[in-house]
């Protein structure tokens, strides 16, 4: 593994995993374990895995089944009902993500794959709009890409 940069943003209820360089199953599981053990993580947080700069040549089809089993065994820690956006611009990454989504239908959260980060982020944000939450623009200094939206429930203004 070269690098997986994790950003846990409680204010926006999202975990962003940005992968650069070689990636394998053990790296993925290790980073999930690390995020779940982080004091700022809350079960049910939305998640973005950005593999646009990753080398996925070592990821095998069997790894997808192992990953699904791992996630399934950790649902009490991950939570349910959240959204997982996988950002993959290569054909290999997109195909592997689609396989995870297809075989992972048993997992109780929404999953989707996108070619661009902005499209994935927009999809993550849709639920917040549909649930009646008011979205405010988050400042650029958040460390996430420009345009990330901060959610506020209307009741928080009382």
Query: Residues 10, 108, 28, 129: is their CA dihedral positive or negative?
Result: negative
DSSP 110-145: EEEEESSHHHHHHHHHHHHHHTT-EEEEPPGGGSSP
In a domain, 153, yes or no: no
The CATH number covering residue 11 comes to 3.30.750.24
Note the pLDDT of residue 55: 92
**pLDDT at residue 138, as a whole number:** 35
Split into its structural domains, the chain has a count of 1
User: How would you write the pLDDT of the chain (158 residues) with one tens digit per residue?
Assistant: 458 889 998 888 899 999 999 998 999 999 999 999 889 999 999 999 999 999 999 999 999 999 999 999 998 889 899 999 999 999 999 999 999 999 999 999 999 999 999 999 999 988 554 444 434 333 333 343 333 333 333 333 33
Give domain status of residue 155, yes or no: no
CB 126 within 8 A of CB 112: no
In terms of residue numbers, what domain contains 48? 3-132
Q: Is residue 151 one of the residues assigned to a domain? A: no
User: Residue 40 has which token pair?
Assistant: 């700022």
Per-residue confidence (pLDDT) for residue 45, from 0 to 100: 93
pLDDT value of position 54: 93
- The pLDDT value given to residue 132: 42
pLDDT of 148: 35
Residue 137 belongs to some domain of the structure: no
| Residue 144 included in any domain | no
**Do the domain assignments include residue 146?**
no
pLDDT at 127: 55
If you search the block for the tokens 């993550």, which residue do you land on? 124
């Amino acid at each position: 593994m070269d690098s997986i940069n994790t950003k846990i943003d409680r204010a926006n209820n999202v975990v962003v995993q940005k992968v650069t360089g070689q990636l394998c199953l053990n790296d993925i599981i290790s980073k999930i374990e690390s995020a779940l053990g982080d004091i700022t993580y809350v079960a049910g947080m939305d998640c973005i895995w950005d593999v646009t700069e990753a080398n996925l040549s070592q990821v095998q089809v069997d790894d997808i089944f192992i990953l699904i089993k791992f996630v399934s065994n950790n649902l009490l820690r991950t939570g349910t009902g959240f959204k997982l956006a996988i950002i993959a611009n290569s054909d290999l990454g997109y195909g592997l993500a689609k396989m995870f989504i297809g075989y992972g239908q048993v997992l109780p959260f929404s999953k989707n794959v996108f070619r661009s980060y902005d499209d994935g982020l927009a999809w993550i944000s849709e639920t917040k709009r549909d649930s009646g939450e008011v979205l405010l623009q988050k400042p650029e200094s958040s460390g996430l890409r420009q345009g990330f939206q901060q959610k506020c429930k209307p009741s928080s203004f009382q």
